[in-house]
Structure 1
Amino acid sequence: MKIKLDPRYPIKLFYKVRNLVSRFRDPNFSTFQKFEYKVGPTDALNELKKLRYVRNLELADSGFINTALKEQLARLKNKDLLFQKDRTITPIGRILVFEGQDTVMNLMFGYSETENRNYLSYNKVNICPVWNVHSDAQYIKLVQRIYPSKSDELFMKHRYFHKDVAYLDKSIQKKSLAFFNSALRTMYSQNKFLQNGIQSIAPPTDFTDQLSRG
């Protein structure tokens, strides 16, 4: 008589042991398992840590997780990475492009001290900027693709984040100012719909001149 082995048994055993260890090392895991697990719908969970608890408990119970849970884990992981990245970026300034009262484009510029790189963000996810390594060529293409929809005119407003940049090294402050002014000049020179000129920004001479992060 042949004994049919469950092909998922090794997975279930691994996660049973792992969860047992978690109960001793992580008090939050035990609390979640007792009071939250399977109490509400999994798709309502917006915390990556708790969703990982669900994954580990499901794998210990059945040896697999469904596609919906995998996709939700991937989304929350990507969201978590966005917020982690944002914490490493010092905001330099913002350029807003308008058509009348409507915002056409919202650009954020930043600097990573750990990477010694400039960054650009032109969209957000859950109010968190999506940062991309700045490229002059890509920035020019982006600027040239900004079009009005109701007229042939655009105008822009800009803001330099003196208070945030003030925490950086003096030499980096100068480079950041030059980088932001260059972005402003490129915006104006490469987009024919912008009618307003740009004004070069000088470092603040006293505290009252400083602008806070927007």
Structure 2
Amino acid sequence: MLKLRAFAMEWRRNFITYLQGFIPLSSEAKMALLDALKVRQYAKREHIVPLNGVSDVISFIAKGCVREYYHNNQTEEVVVWFGIENDIAVSLPSFISQRPSHTAIQAIELTNVVQLSRADLYQLYDQFHEIERLGRIIAEHYLMNSDAYIKELQTQNAAERYHNLMTLKPQILQRVPLSMIASFLGISGETLSRIRAKRANY
């Protein structure tokens, strides 16, 4: 816990830096954001958003790894996203509507996050036009990524999707069980092994 506190301010500032990658923020807005941010630690397998739970916080991953998944009609877990350092984890439809989320977000390893609650965010929207604009830009970014994921599913085979994952997040292979990667790709473990073996021979 002491170690968590020691890094809390650094992680909160890193989140502000991340946000300013979208638009610049005034000193007043940055200070108000810093005051609203909280740092929390999730144990391995602990849920940030449980299945059918309501997503009421935005979580910036300071250190760790998470997955987003849902259950299909056969009650099998289907992974749709992996998040690592400097990613934002949120079930945006649930966050906006305050209705139960159809996906869950779970820590794969010990994970430290910087969180901003929905209540605090909407209060900041009322106080700062620039933060309200920032929220819209991040929501658009989220929707664009979701659309890219759907197009990838529709147009790319498993080998191409595996290549994309390894290009964008190469450390995932060392941090995530192969069964979860296979689920993300929509293939069996045996097929994943063949793809990895073929890629290693290139």
Say yes or no: TM over 0.5: no
Question: Of the two, which has the highest radius of gyration?
Answer: 1
**RCO comparison, higher one (Cα < 8 Å, 6+):** 2
Greater fraction of residues in helix: 2
**TM-score class normalised by the smaller sequence:** under 0.3
- Normalised to the residue count of structure 2, the TM-score between the two structures is 0.26
